[in-house]
């Protein structure tokens, strides 16, 4: 694995504090750059997620992305559903555009994945404890019958050479348009935590929980979800922290 020199610079010292959770600011932007989504396996299974929480004084709306991993289960980032949400809505896409029906959902499980240890030659000065890393599974109120779920990665040790991310989030008035971008892994841990560079794009707040997928002979599979972006200028950044999907359903880090 080639480690680009800019990564240690971005992640050294105070810059680590700029690894921020993606899904908690408004208005929520989606992928900046990249390409409009097509109708492949990634686009067909990606969803926009809106959750309503009730803190002490006022309602709050989180805006995130996720992916269908079983007919009635959606994988996203756990911070998208913090605060015991009152409800969640899940929207699929036809190409770049949101489409009906809208599904209700509830939180089925939250995960705090084991960050593991950085692999040899993989940005040894990165402090894994400072990176946002979380996952959640939502259960839909009814199974989806016209979309094909995307399976999860089975082996977190085999880091793909190339990844793709999809994201949409919600705008101030509704669901955003779905876009995709390619990612190049630049650092990874023994459990599959990955730091990747977005190629010709930036990852933004509304992309939190966005699926990060890879391809092998068996087809498309979910490597993880976007858990944080590394940036000096919010709300978008060129590097994304990917929470590893291989730990979902394994019992590791369940809370």
Percent of all residues in the chain with a pLDDT value above 90, rounded to a whole number? 47
Per-residue model confidence (pLDDT) at position 40: 95
Query: What secondary structure, in 3-state letters, does 100-131 show?
Result: EEEEEEEEEEEECCCCCCECCCCCCCCCHHHC
**Which of these, 21, 158, 37, 31, lies nearest to 76 by C-alpha position?**
21
pTM: 0.84
Residue 173: pLDDT over 60: no
In this prediction, residue 7 carries a pLDDT of: 30
Q: What are phi and psi of 129, to 5 degrees?
A: -65, -20
Place of tokens 């190409």: 95
The percent of residues in the chain predicted with pLDDT above 70, rounded, is 75
Return the higher-pLDDT residue of 20 and 13.
20
Instruction: Considering only residues 159 and 164, tell me which one the structure prediction assigns the higher pLDDT.
Output: 164
CB atoms within 10 A of CB 18: 18
Q: Regarding beta strands 239-244 and 236-237, do their DSSP bridges make them parallel or antiparallel, or are they unpaired? A: unpaired
More confident residue, 113 or 137: 137
pLDDT over threshold 70, residue 62: no
Task: Report how far residue 177's alpha carbon sits from residue 97's, in angstroms, rounded to the nearest whole number.
Answer: 6
Residue 109 has pLDDT above 70, yes or no: yes
Q: For 40, list phi and psi in degrees, rounded to 5.
A: -85, -175
pLDDT over 50 (residue 139):
yes
Biggest alpha carbon–alpha carbon distance for the chain: 51
* Of 94, 115, 86, residue with least CA distance to 45: 94
- Better-scored residue on pLDDT, 59 or 77: 77
Please check the confidence at residue 41 and state whether its pLDDT lies above 70. yes
Average pLDDT over residues 143-167: 94
What are the chain's domains?
6-247 (2.40.10.120)
Backbone angles phi, psi at 7, to 5 degrees: -65, -50
Residue count (the chain) = 255
Rounded Cα distance between 220 and 160, Å, is 12
- Measuring CA to CA, which residue among 167, 166, 163, 126 is closest to residue 244? 163
Condensed to tens digits (0 to 9), the pLDDT of residues 181-239 reads: 999 999 898 889 999 999 999 998 778 999 999 999 999 999 999 998 888 877 888 99
């Amino acid at each position: 694995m080639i480690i680009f020199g800019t990564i240690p610079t971005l992640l050294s010292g105070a810059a680590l504090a700029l690894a921020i959770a993606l899904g908690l600011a408004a208005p929520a932007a989606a992928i900046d750059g990249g390409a409009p989504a097509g109708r492949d396996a990634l686009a067909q299974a990606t969803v926009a997620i809106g959750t309503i929480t009730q803190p002490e004084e006022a309602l709050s709306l989180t805006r995130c992305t996720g992916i269908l991993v079983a007919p009635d289960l959606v994988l996203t980032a756990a911070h998208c559903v913090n605060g015991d949400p009152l409800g969640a809505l899940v929207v699929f896409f036809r190409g770049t555009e949101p489409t009906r029906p809208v599904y209700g959902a509830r939180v089925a499980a939250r995960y705090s994945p084991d960050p593991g240890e950085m692999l040899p030659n993989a940005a040894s000065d990165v402090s894994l404890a400072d990176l946002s890393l979380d996952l959640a599974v939502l259960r839909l109120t009814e199974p989806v019958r016209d979309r094909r779920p995307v399976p999860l990665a089975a082996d977190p040790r085999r880091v793909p050479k190339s990844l793709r991310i999809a994201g949409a989030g919600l705008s101030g008035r509704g669901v955003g348009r779905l876009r995709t971008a390619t990612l190049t892994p630049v650092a990874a841990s023994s459990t599959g935590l990955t730091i990747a560079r977005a190629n010709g794009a930036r990852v933004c707040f509304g992309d939190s929980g966005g699926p990060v997928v890879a391809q092998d002979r068996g087809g498309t599979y979910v490597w993880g979800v976007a858990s944080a972006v590394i940036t000096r200028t919010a709300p978008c950044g060129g590097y994304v922290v990917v929470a590893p999907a291989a730990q979902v359903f394994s019992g590791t880090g369940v809370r």
